[in-house]
């Protein structure tokens, strides 16, 4: 059974996805997910930043197993193609039977935004009003939709991009404002969703008690945040293992993870950052997030589907 991106889009929604992502993060930190580090191979198709990569991400969780193969080719943007492409295979954990193969591009897009939405709901006060977005691509757009869902109070949306035409276009389409980077960075919540190989967010621009959602710059030698931005905050990770291995923002700065988001979700009373602390949430994506999203799609597309 194969599900195209159109099939996925027809049934996958944030109201359904955000709660299962939340539980998956709790289960991961609780040791209920079998998920080895992803294997990443460089494609060798070009030099420097244009060099793409290919990753394999297996996982076992609950009643299902799965594997995602995902590629990132930065040069695709100039060809009018998506930079991230993926395929997910879903299997029955009890029998090993393949249940479905589906396009994983949209799942990757939506589960990334859903993880940030879960983090926002857990780490930011209900009254936050301003959201600064650094970036104007696919993740900027998907995050805006997901973050507004959990914090409708976000009414002051500020967008910055190296490509000012793109930031103005996204702002016009979403009721936001295209602003200088310093103004975007001064918001209550700041999302960094760029493909920059070097820091774009400087700590001196940030508000004292802001929340930073850092989702771009996946790779041990890439970073979006300068030292002041990340070392001056209380660092919460999607996964300690993944962040310390794959996030240049952490690897290159020497920042120390204070907690996983799943630990905070499972025991909020134990979450005790300094009273005036800025909080930085860093994610790089995990296979279990893809698995639970793919399971949702399979159940929705197969009306009689059940797993033992």
The pLDDT score that the predictor gives to residue 305 is 59
Query: How do residues 214-263 score in pLDDT, each as one tens digit?
Result: 999 888 888 999 999 999 999 999 999 999 999 999 999 999 999 999 99
Distance separating alpha carbons of residues 158 and 251, to the nearest angstrom:
29
With a cut of 70, say whether residue 5 has pLDDT above it: yes
- How many percent of the chain have pLDDT more than 90? 82
Backbone angles phi, psi at 11, to 5 degrees: -125, -20
Better pLDDT: 276 or 114 = 114
Query: How do residues 143-199 score in pLDDT, each as one tens digit?
Result: 999 999 999 999 999 999 999 999 999 999 999 999 999 999 999 999 999 978 889
With a cut of 70, say whether residue 202 has pLDDT above it: yes
- Please state which CATH class domain 125-282 belongs to: alpha beta
Sheet with 130-134: strands ordered across? 177-178, 156-160, 130-134, 189-192, 211-214, 278-282, 233-237, 259-260
41 DSSP 8-state letter = E
Q: Quick check: 24 and 283 in contact, CB under 8 A?
A: no
Query: How do residues 92-105 score in pLDDT, each as one tens digit?
Result: 999 999 999 999 99
Q: Which CATH architecture has domain 2-107+287-301?
A: 2-Layer Sandwich (3.30)
304 pLDDT tier (thresholds 50, 70, 90): low
The pLDDT score that the predictor gives to residue 75 is 86
Q: How far is CA 37 from the centre of its chain?
A: 17
**What tokens were used for 60?**
């076992």
The pLDDT score that the predictor gives to residue 85 is 95
Domain range list for the chain = 2-107+287-301, 125-282
The pLDDT score that the predictor gives to residue 308 is 56
The pLDDT score that the predictor gives to residue 306 is 59
Of 10-14, 18-22, 43-47, 262-266, minimum mean pLDDT range: 43-47
The pLDDT score that the predictor gives to residue 246 is 92
50 pLDDT tier (thresholds 50, 70, 90): confident
The pLDDT score that the predictor gives to residue 282 is 97
Average pLDDT score, the chain: 94
**What tokens were used for 141?**
């757009």
The pLDDT score that the predictor gives to residue 227 is 96
The pLDDT score that the predictor gives to residue 273 is 87
Distance separating alpha carbons of residues 222 and 201, to the nearest angstrom:
13
The pLDDT score that the predictor gives to residue 256 is 96
């Amino acid at each position: 059974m194969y599900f195209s991106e159109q099939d996925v889009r027809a049934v996958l929604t944030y109201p359904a996805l955000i709660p299962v992502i939340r539980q998956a993060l709790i289960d991961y930190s609780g040791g209920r997910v079998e998920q080895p580090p992803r294997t990443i191979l460089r494609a060798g198709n070009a030099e420097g930043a244009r060099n793409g990569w290919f990753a394999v991400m297996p996982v076992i969780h609950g009643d299902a197993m799965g594997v995602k193969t995902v590629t990132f080719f930065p040069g695709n943007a100039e060809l009018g193609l998506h930079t991230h492409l993926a395929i997910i295979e879903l299997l029955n954990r009890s029998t090993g039977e393949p249940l479905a193969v589906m396009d994983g591009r949209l799942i990757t897009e939506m589960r990334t935004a859903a993880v940030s939405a879960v983090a926002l709901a857990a780490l930011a006060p209900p009254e936050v009003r301003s959201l600064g977005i650094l970036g104007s691509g696919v993740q900027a757009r998907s995050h805006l939709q997901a973050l507004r869902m959990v914090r409708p109070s976000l009414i002051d949306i500020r967008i910055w991009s190296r490509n000012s035409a793109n930031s103005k276009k996204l702002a016009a389409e979403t009721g936001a404002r295209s602003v200088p980077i310093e103004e975007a960075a001064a918001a209550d919540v700041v999302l960094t969703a760029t493909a920059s190989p070097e820091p774009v967010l400087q700590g001196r621009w940030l508000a004292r008690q802001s929340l930073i959602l850092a989702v771009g710059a996946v790779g041990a030698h890439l970073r979006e945040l300068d030292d002041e931005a990340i070392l001056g905050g209380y660092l919460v990770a999607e996964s300690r293992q993944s962040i310390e291995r794959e996030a240049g923002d952490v690897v290159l700065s020497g920042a120390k993870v204070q907690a996983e988001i799943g630990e905070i979700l499972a025991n909020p009373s134990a979450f005790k950052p300094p009273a005036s602390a800025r909080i930085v949430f860093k994610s790089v994506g995990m296979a279990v997030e893809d698995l639970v999203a793919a399971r949702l799609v399979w159940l929705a597309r197969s009306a009689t589907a059940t797993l033992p």
